Amino acid sequence: MRVPAFPSRRLRSSSRSARSVGPDRSRSEPVLLSLSCWLCLCLSALSGIAERTASAASGILLESPGELEDVLATTFDDAGHPVGSSSFRVEILEDGIRHMRVEMAVDGGGLNVSEALLEVVENDAPSAREASPAPGETVAPRHFRVLEEQSQATRADGVRLPFLVIDHRKGRVSCYPPDRDRTRGRHVEIGSEDRIVNVPMQLLFQPLVSGEVDHLRFRIATCKKGPVLYRIVAVRGPAGEYGGHRFVEIRYGPDLGNTVAWLASRLLPRFSFWFDRDSGRYLGHRMPLHRKGPEVLLIREGLRPGDLGLFDRN
């Protein structure tokens, strides 16, 4: 099967203005993550758990509660004020490959753009939430594997940061200069077990949302002076209700061992995703815009932070 490269043009991209959330202090060679760039704020003190090992094939099966959907979101600052707009866009490419594009933006400057190519898993089985389809019934694919991920951020002052590429087919993570010059990259092999997920975290966390597992361990890739891999653990956090529906918070942070799964739900409240507990639908997430950048909160269009128990005044 021929797998297409990332499209050279933006697919169904949305035009977003930008106003600054707050001071942007990143002056050194920063990390470009997508939906995972947030973690570098705390990972800098945990470099001892970084991994640099030999290559392998992808090992994580991602689950979707339905066909991948476009999502519009409002960007809030860490005080709960709306400061911009963000989006998740999905296109179906050649051979059914899904191209996911995530834009996190703030008004006046500051942008993070991440992309992923997702391959549909053949002979897909129904998820835990649904019954088997009737004979002849067509259903949306439910499981995917990541083929490639890319991320790059721009600071509020307009300076572009390094370009991160995770090629799961080649088993390699690469960091390139801001101009994306492929002749000047630094590389590291992924290792014997590829459990890296930087972009489609809303799919990665579905087994936690449905209660199939109590915790989930994976890795993320970052750019410092070169690529670095980190072990991460995610757990279910507090649950609540919004508009008659139930939601659940998923919290995640550095994996320091077996006790962290218990401690994370109590000690790592800043890096979170929120989901509808019954349908698995993404509702929002909180993370820094980029390494040492301002922390932002994305909330699905039509909801407010207060619907998820955040910022009482909203």
Please give the residue that has the higher pLDDT: either 188 or 33.
188
Is 128 inside any structural domain? Answer: no
Q: How far apart are CA 227 and CA 107, in angstroms?
A: 30
Most confident of 2-11, 26-35, 137-146, 231-240: 231-240
Per-residue pLDDT, 256: 74
Task: For residue 242, name the pLDDT band (cuts at 50, 70, 90).
Answer: confident
% of the chain beyond a pLDDT of 70? 70
Q: Among 148, 174, 149, 146, which Cα is nearest to 162's?
A: 174
Q: What is the pTM of this model?
A: 0.77
β-pairing, 295-300 with 282-288? antiparallel
Task: For residue 195, name the pLDDT band (cuts at 50, 70, 90).
Answer: very high
Please give the residue that has the higher pLDDT: either 178 or 228.
178
As a whole number, mean pLDDT of residues 140-145 equals 84
Per-residue pLDDT, 78: 84
Please give the residue that has the higher pLDDT: either 18 or 291.
291
Is 3 inside any structural domain? Answer: no
Count of structural domains, the chain = 1
Per-residue pLDDT, 207: 95
Amino acid letter, 298: L
As a whole number, mean pLDDT of residues 244-253 equals 91
Is 154 inside any structural domain? Answer: yes
% of the chain beyond a pLDDT of 90? 49
Q: How far apart are CA 69 and CA 71, in angstroms?
A: 6
Per-residue pLDDT, 22: 46
Per-residue pLDDT, 216: 93
Q: Point out the least confidently predicted range of 65-79, 233-247, 287-301.
A: 287-301
Is 32 inside any structural domain? Answer: no
Range of the domain at 197: 37-122+141-304
Is 215 inside any structural domain? Answer: yes
Is 310 inside any structural domain? Answer: no
